[in-house]
Amino acid sequence: MQIKQYIPKPIKRILQYSYDGWFDLVDFVLGRRHPMVPARRHTFIGRGDFIADGNAFRETLVQLTGLTPDQRVLDIGSGQGRMSLPLTDFLSKEGAYTGLEIVKSGVDWCEQAYGDYANFTFIHADVFNSYYNPGGQYQSADYPFPFPDDEFDVMFLASVFTHMHPGDVAHYLDEISRCLKPGGRCLASLFLLGDESRAAITRGESSVAFRFPVDEFSLSATELDPENAIAIDEGFIRSALEKSGLRIEGEIHRGSWSTNLPAMSLQDVVVVTV
Ligand SMILES: C[S@@+](CC[C@H](N)C(=O)[O-])C[C@H]1O[C@@H](n2cnc3c(N)ncnc32)[C@H](O)[C@@H]1O
């Protein structure tokens, strides 16, 4: 049983902040924090090695989408720039990166950190998410992406659909389809509920315990704050993709969360094209 989820959020934040503060102090004294990596106590995108995780993701992105240096890339749910940092020495001056993020402090951080990179732009989308942006003005399902049709060669969502409800994901897929250039590709990491992953959850063998039903098509790992971690029915995703005019390219790369086998990533990885 995960006791952590029952600790009130403000208390959890204070505990985490003080714990991380000590490590930040050590990093500061030793001068070892990269200027484009946020301090640990201000990090909201999850734990792990910010730089190593970003580099590994870039490898996967390039391998699976065929991203080239002169293309236009959209990072949906760009957080604090973990996946943009390794693109700074990949994209050429002809290429361009746009990050779309619902947490204003994340956008502010990136705007300041990427001030020297003219082809990197960060946009705030004031979209509601009970976990990340509880004061958000718009619902995901009503939010039109602020871009014209056929704008991007490559898009990606790294651990973003893992915080969204199925209906909201379906709307995002419509917007992705609209904003992708013909032949463009979008990579998303997510938790897919199929026969095998559901069986692993039931046996208690999945590394993320999705035990709490959210709606007909999704389960959460946290009872009190479902948007902290959501897994979505694979059939729902397949039919939403079809409705939005997107199709899966190649195989679905099953994540280690449900198989416990060596994998490309903890989460399942899907590449779609229009
Ligand atoms: C686990 S973090 C991952 C951040 C970033 N993609 C990375 O891998 O470093 C999840 C991110 O999704 C963002 N997010 C949640 N709901 C969103 C939505 N409806 N639209 C765009 N971003 C969203 C959160 O604000 C957060 O930055």
Ligand 1 centroid, distance to 77 Cα (angstroms): 4
> Based on the number of CB atoms within 10 Å of its own CB, is 39 exposed (0-12), middle (13-18) or buried (19 or more)?
middle
- For tokens 């209906």, name the residue: 167
Ligand 1: residues whose CB is within 6 Å? 45-46, 76-79, 82-83, 101-103, 106, 127, 129, 132, 140, 158-160, 163-164
Ligand 1, atom 19: nearest CA belongs to which residue?
A: 140
Ligand 1 centroid, distance to 113 Cα (angstroms): 18
Q: Where are the alpha helices (DSSP H) in the chain?
A: 9-30, 50-65, 104-113, 166-179, 195-202, 234-244, 256-259
Judge contact between 162 and 222, C-beta under 8 A: no
Which ligand 1 atom sits closest to the C-alpha of 127? 19
Q: Which two tokens stand for residue 243?
A: 């409705």
Ligand 1 centroid, distance to 109 Cα (angstroms): 15
Q: Which two tokens stand for residue 223?
A: 């009872």
pLDDT in tens, the chain (274 residues): 456 667 777 777 777 777 787 887 878 778 777 889 999 888 898 888 999 999 999 999 999 999 999 999 999 999 999 999 999 999 999 999 999 999 999 999 999 999 999 999 999 999 999 999 999 999 999 999 999 999 999 999 999 999 999 999 999 999 999 999 999 999 999 999 999 999 999 999 999 999 999 999 999 999 989 999 999 999 999 999 999 999 999 999 999 999 999 999 999 999 999 9
pLDDT digits (tens, 9 = 90+) for 15-29: 777 778 788 787 877
Ligand 1, atom 10: nearest CA belongs to which residue?
A: 160
Ligand 1 centroid, distance to 80 Cα (angstroms): 9
- Give how far the C-alpha of residue 78 lies from the chain's centroid of Cα atoms, to the nearest Å: 7
Ligand 1 centroid, distance to 168 Cα (angstroms): 13
**Alpha-carbon separation of residue 178 from 124, 157, 181, 182, 246 (angstroms):** 20, 16, 8, 9, 10
Ligand 1 centroid, distance to 29 Cα (angstroms): 31
Ligand 1, atom 27: nearest CA belongs to which residue?
A: 79
- Give how far the C-alpha of residue 89 lies from the chain's centroid of Cα atoms, to the nearest Å: 21
Transcribe 52-117 into DSSP letters: HHHHHHHHHHHHHH---TTSEEEEET-TTSTTTGGGTTTS-SS-EEEEEES-HHHHHHHHHHTTT-
Which ligand 1 atom sits closest to the C-alpha of 106? 27
Long-range contacts, 105-111 (Cβ 8 Å, 24+): 105/42, 105/44, 106/44, 106/45, 106/78, 106/79, 106/80, 106/81, 107/78, 109/38, 109/42, 109/80, 109/81, 110/78, 110/80, 110/81, 110/84
- What the chain holds in terms of domains, given with CATH numbers, is 45-273 (3.40.50.150)
Which ligand 1 atom sits closest to the C-alpha of 77? 22
Q: Which two tokens stand for residue 84?
A: 């943009």
| CA pair distance 27, 146, nearest whole angstrom | 38
pTM for the structure as a whole? 0.92
pLDDT of 15:
74
| CA pair distance 19, 24, nearest whole angstrom | 9
